[in-house]
Each structure stands twice: as structure tokens, then as C-alpha cells.
Amino acid sequence: MDKMVIEGGFPLIGEVSISGSKNASLPIIVSSIMFDGCDSEIHNVPDLEDIKTIKKLLTSLGAEIKESDKPDKLIINTSGINNYEAPYDLVKTMRASVLVLGPLLAKYKRARVSLPGGCAIGARPIDFHLNAFKLLGVTVEVEHGYVEVYADKLKGAEISFPIPSVTGTENVIMAATLAEGTTVIKNAAREPEIDDMILALNNGGADIKRTEPSVIIVNGVKKLNKLNHKVLPDRIEAGTFMVASAVTKGDIVLKDINVSHLRTVIDKLSESGAKIIINSSSSLRIKGAKTIKSVDISTAPYPDFPTDMQAQMMALMTISSGLCVITENVFENRFMHVAELIRLGASIKVRNNFAIVKGVRKLSGAEVMATDLRASASLVLAGLASSDGLTTVSRIYHLDRGYEKMEKKLSNLGAIISRVKASEPSAIPDEQVFKDLNYGKGA
Ligand code: UD1
């Protein structure tokens, strides 16, 4: 397994371009299942392990992923789909694979998908998705670890989510797109990635409207025309690079972002002392403060502070000037990074869904292990902030699921960071060897 080796303590300076959103790409890619008349074209798709997994899944269903002239462009032809099953091997590596349920139901009235089970950040059931499908007239059966769904036809219905679910909302929208009649989704999730998928579907002939912030109305249509969409920028990658600037006391310009989707992250980082200058609707500059102020953070569904930024903000708070409370309200077990941050010298205590972080003067490099996608990002950030010794982050396959060329983008900003391939002997170079390699500024 690859590892990331980081020599921290240097401010990151320069410009970074943010990739397309992972969480918008995934539902848009699977929505191509409903467009079987011609090739679907999706632009600004990031090069990530999760995208490879969803491509593998589509191919296993019988879709064809065609050669494209650009690395971030996907051309998919789904007319050959002849299999309706997402197997355990794929679902276990990426639970968003359950997103094929909606479009397969819409188009073929059937699907069989392995139940995702738990994952590092909590139980994460899909009961909301399944209960909503039932209201649309779908029979749901669970057997041998698989959920099987089928219907003669799907009929519009009123659905109210107990709490907003991002992939739940996306799955129901897709299922309802080709259904008979109108579906009203109440307490729908409000994440911008959902609206990006809606835009892609509407441009392809669907009739979907967000009539109130948490209400979505889907008028079923008989047929879709063509999927041709440019995916919106990844707000979590953007937020992660903003923290990279703040935690290293650097000065970074982010481009190819959507500033309006970063509101709560901008507010919290400003409160912590970082200076943020909005250049335009798609670019901002963030200068880290000399002294990082402690700020309390509480995660909640969009438009509140994203759970997907909690671990990264915690890395920043570990070297703040005081005490803060970080409250995780979305997932029950999303503090796996705490024990690893403590290995780097952080002072954190967890009580239920609260983490109390007492800022320390400095972090010092250590060997740490990534446990999930955003936890790995927080360890890389903490490694960049560690002013003494090397940090080695193992199990970075988690990071590769959701960050495109992260070490390359960080190196371009002056970070001293290197990927050690699993196949390379004696995996981790010692400190002197690392310096001799002449990486970045520290060498
Ligand atoms: C999506 C994002 C993930 C993000 C999360 C919350 C994708 C591919 N992933 O995940 O990055 O961290 O939103 O912003 O877009 N729940 C149930 N039953 C369900 C569905 C959800 O109890 O059927 C619970 C979950 O356990 C969780 C909460 O609802 O506590 C919200 O989860 P949800 O929004 O569904 O997360 P995902 O869509 O899986």
C-alpha cells in the first residue's frame, strides 16, 4: 500500500486549480443509465479511485466507456446494459454504488445491489432510499446481503425524508424522473451536488424543480434525450486546500471553484484569523494567520458546515491558540482521525459526538494511518503543519478515492511531500535520505 511522506513546517504559496466534484460526478455518471439513445458526455470529471469504481460498475452492467480526447471527459454509451446487479466487491469499496438503484429502476424497473453495510464513519443504512422506492410502487426484498428492487411501473408519490440524505435524495430523483406522474420530495437534502445532477438531467429532457429549499418536485417524463454536462467544482477539495494554506500559514490562490458553495468554510476560516480575499465567483485567495484562533465547529447538512470538512478543520484547530469544541452531527463515528492526530502531538478529548481540541504550540512528525477519505486529508494537513520530523501517512488509498493528484498539487505549492509506492523497497526513506532527494524548499 502506498504511503505519503511529508516534511512539514513550510508555508504553502502559489495557485491551485480545483478539480470537478466527486460527489456530483458519481450520480451524474450513473444517471447515464437512463440515457440509452446516444453517447453521454460528462466534462470536468476528476481522476479518482471512486470514479474508476463507478466506471467499473457501469461496465459490469454492460455499458461502454469510450475513449475521449480529454482526461477529464467521460463518454458513456449505456445502450448495451443487460445486467442489473451491483456486486459486493464494488459496493464494499464505495457505498455510493447504491446510486445505481435509482436509474436502473427508472429505466429497467429492476436492480439488485449488495447492501453497503457499515463503514469507518458509521452504520450508514439505506433505509430512507428503500422506503421512498416503496412509495413509488417498488417491491423491495432483502436477501443474502443483497437488496432486490422491482416494479411493473413506477408511479409518482409524496416522499418525506426523516432527515435529509444526499444520495437518498439523488436516488429518488432519478427513480422518479421516468415515473408516471409527479413526485414531491420533502425534507430533501440541499447539497449543491444534487442541484448539479438536476441541471444535468433537466438539460437532457427531465422536469425537476427545487420549489423550496427542501422541496423538490419531479414530473415524470417519457424519455430523456442527451446527457451533456460539465460537473461543478469540488467544494470539499477547495475547502481542504484552504485549510492547507491556513495550517501552514501560507498564501494560496484557489481557482476553478464556486465561491458561493464555500460560505460556511470561508466564515469559519475567517473567524480563525485567516485572511480571505474573494477575487471572483470562481477564485479566492487565502492567507494564513500567524496566530490561529480557536473556533467551535458544528457539522450539519448543507448549507451548514459540512461533515466532509470536519477532520480538516480539526487538524487546523490542533495548533490554535485556545480551546474549541467540534461537534459531529451527521455521522456517529467520524472521529477516527483523533487518535492519529494525537500521535502527531495534538491534544484532543472525545465525548460522544464532541471533540474538545486544546491547541498546542506545535505538532511533530510521526507515522500515522488513514482511516477514511477525509481523515486522510486531515493527517496530510497535520503533517504539513508539523514543524519537526517527518510524517508518514499510510493507507492513502483512502485519499486516492477523493483527491486528484493531491501530492502533485501540494508540491506545486511548495510542500515537501512524496508518495512512496508500495512496490518500492524499504518503503520510508529516513529523514536524511528524504532531504537528499532534494524535494521542494526544505532540501
Ligand atoms: C453523502 C456524501 C458524503 C457526505 C454525506 C453527508 C456522496 C457520494 N457522499 O453521503 O461525502 O459525507 O453525504 O454530507 O455524495 N441515513 C440513514 N438512512 C439512509 C440514508 C442516510 O439513516 O437511508 C443517515 C446517515 O447514516 C447519516 C445521515 O443520514 O447519518 C446523512 O447521510 P447521507 O446524506 O445519506 O450521506 P450519503 O448520501 O451516504
Distance 329 CA to ligand 1 centre (A): 12
pLDDT reading at 433 higher than 50: no
Enzyme catalytic residues: 119
State the average pLDDT over residues 255-266: 98
pLDDT band at 115 (very low <50, low <70, confident <90, very high): confident
How far is ligand 1, taken at its centre, from the CA of residue 164, in Å? 8
User: What's the gap in Å between 138 CA and the centre of ligand 1?
Assistant: 22
pTM across the whole model: 0.94
Q: Is 320 a pocket residue for ligand 1 (Cβ < 6 Å)?
A: no
> Can you tell me the distance from the alpha carbon of 44 to that of 206, in angstroms, rounded to the nearest whole number?
22
Percentage of the chain with pLDDT > 70? 94
- Establish whether residue 307 lines the binding site of ligand 1, counting it when its CB lies within 6 angstroms of any ligand atom: yes
Q: What is the CA(333)–ligand 1 centre distance, in A?
A: 13
Torsion of CA 46, 51, 55, 61, to 10 degrees: -140
Closest protein CA for atom 17 of ligand 1: 125
Helices (H) and strands (E) in the chain, counts: 15, 24
pLDDT at 178: 98
Distance 187 CA to ligand 1 centre (A): 14
Alpha-carbon distances of 191 from 164, 168, 206, 351, rounded to whole Å: 10, 12, 19, 28
Tell me: the pLDDT tens digits for 295-304?
A: 999 999 999 9
Q: Is 94 in the pocket of ligand 1 (CB under 6 A)?
A: no
Nearest CA, atom 39, ligand 1: 167
Name which residue sits closest to atom 21 of ligand 1, judged by CA: 165
Residue 22 CA: nearest ligand 1 atom is 8
Mean pLDDT computed over every residue of the chain: 93
From the CB of 127, is ligand 1 less than 6 Å away? yes
Between 61-70, 127-136, 173-182, 430-439, the lowest mean confidence (pLDDT) is in 430-439
Query: Is residue 118 in contact with ligand 1, taking CB distance under 6 Å?
Result: no
Phi-psi region of 313 (alpha: psi -120 to 50; beta: other; left: phi over 0): alpha
- Give the residue whose CA is nearest to atom 20 of ligand 1: 126
Name the residue at shortest CA distance from atom 32 of ligand 1.
165
The response to whether residue 167 sits with its C-beta less than 6 Å from ligand 1 reads yes
Q: Separation of 124 CA from ligand 1 center, angstroms?
A: 7
User: Starting at the edge strand that comes first in sequence, how are the strands of the sheet with 110-114 ordered?
Assistant: 85-86, 110-114, 146-150, 139-143
CA 316/CA 211 separation, integer angstroms: 38
Read off the pLDDT band of 103 (50, 70, 90).
very high
The torsion angle over the Cα atoms of residues 2, 7, 9 and 10, rounded to 10 degrees, is -90
Please tell me the distance from the alpha carbon of residue 336 to that of residue 241, in angstroms, as a whole number: 21
440 vs 371: CA distance, rounded Å: 28
